[in-house]
Amino acid sequence: MSKKETTNLKEVGNQNYESKKMNTSENLKKKKDNDLPWWVELLFVQIGLPDKLLVKILKVKKISKEFIKNDKKSLITFLFIFTTLAYFYPVIKHAKNKLDCEAIAKSYIIKNKNTIEINNKEIKMLSTNFCNGGEEIFEIENLRN
């Protein structure tokens, strides 16, 4: 290759570099000219919330993206545990309410009914029956009779 050809190649390379540089600056201008997100438009332009709040929101958004990116495993573990607890909470609450009802019914039977001849297991059975809608508790004679 002669000297002319090498200088021409350098000039072509410089021109390509300059054109790429111009394209990136045009791309940056296009990015800056993009419309605002709808929530920014609504909250900060239309409603008029303070700009300090927008800065804080954007910082939190950036931090949360980094946290999600870096700690996916711990986040998935936390969500799994939370979902499991949320799934079983109604079952646990129902069991607790049922046990409370049985305890209240048992104390009612002991206080207000003639339970001399009834052992502890039968009282528990009657209280469970009563909490499930049974009416056998009313068949026991009252102390007053």
Residues 87-122 have pLDDT tens digits of: 999 999 999 999 999 999 989 888 887 777 788 888
* Global confidence as pTM: 0.48
Question: So what's the pLDDT on residue 62?
Answer: 94
Place of tokens 């605002």: 36
**Helix or strand or coil: residue 145?**
coil
Residue type, 95: A
Closest CA relative to residue 110, chosen from 95, 124, 90: 124
pLDDT along the chain (145 residues), means of 10: 55 61 58 74 88 93 92 93 96 95 90 80 88 79 52
